[in-house]
């Protein structure tokens, strides 16, 4: 299937009868989308792909760009059966057992394991600003809305597992009292503040005397590599 055919299919199945309507919704010019759909433009830039991906939420960006992999986000990703990463891609592994196991009680924010996957380098750079070395960054899916709107339910986040310590204010994957959480951490004079972005959830302060009760599993570098359709 050509690029033009893929984009036309994604538009019509996403409920847009006219290309102009989809272009306005995505924030691209109608002429740019017309030229992509009639075959005049032969390649889809990463920036335009991200914009179209927001209004075609059921379709995977990789498939929109070059037709690779499953068509839809809900389609299962094939298990990797090759040892080499394809050119132009970065391979991310799931959180390993020693990183995700042993945390005890599981709550709504528990990061579910995702399948090992290859992500386009342009997408990685757009999310975190650099391409990490092998096994430094791992992927987890976040459940729950306590970090909304910074992180939405079902977002896949990149976790730098080499930063297993508080490294300044930011969002971290942590274990606290047997619960695995993705939270914002901020150090203030009265202790370490464990903060939920969503105001419905109360923040927690860990006094300096209890600071060892929290374990940092890694720092979250970026989010929204993938989002489920219902989250838009």
- Of the listed ranges 15-24, 32-41, 97-106, the least confidently predicted one is 97-106
Q: Which two tokens stand for residue 13?
A: 């199945």
pLDDT at 177: 75
Residue 51's pLDDT band, with cuts at 50, 70 and 90, is confident
Say whether both 146 and 205 belong to one domain: yes
Could you tell me the residue range of the domain that residue 173 belongs to?
89-231
What is the CATH classification number for the domain harbouring 17? 1.10.260.40
Helices (H), the chain: 3-13, 19-26, 30-37, 46-55, 61-66, 97-100, 121-128
| Count of domains for the chain | 2
Give the integer Cα–Cα distance in Å for 232 and 229: 6
Say whether both 20 and 96 belong to one domain: no
pLDDT reading at 107 higher than 60: no
pLDDT at 207: 95
pLDDT at 35: 95
Say whether both 94 and 51 belong to one domain: no
Say whether both 103 and 217 belong to one domain: yes
pLDDT at 229: 34
Average pLDDT over residues 132-149: 84
pLDDT at 232: 31
pLDDT reading at 195 higher than 50: yes
Say whether both 40 and 116 belong to one domain: no
pLDDT reading at 83 higher than 80: no
What is the CATH classification number for the domain harbouring 123? 2.10.109.10
pLDDT reading at 113 higher than 70: no
In 3D space, the residue among 196, 218, 67 whose CA is nearest the CA of residue 128 turns out to be 218
Does residue 71 fall inside a structural domain?
no
Average pLDDT over residues 36-64: 86
Average pLDDT over residues 189-206: 93
Of all residues in the chain, the percent with pLDDT exceeding 70 is 81
């Amino acid at each position: 299937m050509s690029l033009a055919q893929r984009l036309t299919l994604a538009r019509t199945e996403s409920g847009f009868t006219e290309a102009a309507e989809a272009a306005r919704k995505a924030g691209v010019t109608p002429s740019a989308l017309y030229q992509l759909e009639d075959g005049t433009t032969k390649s889809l830039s990463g920036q335009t792909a991200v914009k179209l991906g927001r209004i075609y939420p059921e379709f995977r960006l990789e498939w929109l760009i070059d037709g690779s992999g499953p068509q839809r986000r809900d389609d299962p990703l094939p298990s990797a059966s090759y040892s080499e990463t394809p050119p132009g891609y970065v391979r991310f592994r799931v959180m390993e057992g020693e990183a995700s196991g042993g945390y005890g009680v599981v709550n709504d924010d528990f990061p579910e394991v995702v399948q090992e996957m290859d992500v386009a380098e342009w997408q990685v750079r757009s999310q975190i600003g650099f391409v990490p070395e092998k096994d430094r960054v791992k992927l987890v899916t976040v459940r729950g809305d306590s970090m909304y709107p910074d992180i939405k339910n079902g977002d896949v986040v990149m976790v730098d597992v080499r930063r297993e310590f508080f490294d300044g204010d930011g969002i971290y994957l942590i274990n606290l009292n047997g619960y695995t959480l993705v939270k914002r951490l901020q150090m203030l004079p009265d202790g370490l503040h464990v903060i939920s972005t969503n105001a419905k959830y109360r923040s927690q302060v860990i006094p300096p005397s209890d600071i060892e009760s929290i374990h940092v599993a890694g720092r979250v570098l970026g989010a929204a590599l993938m989002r489920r359709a219902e989250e838009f």
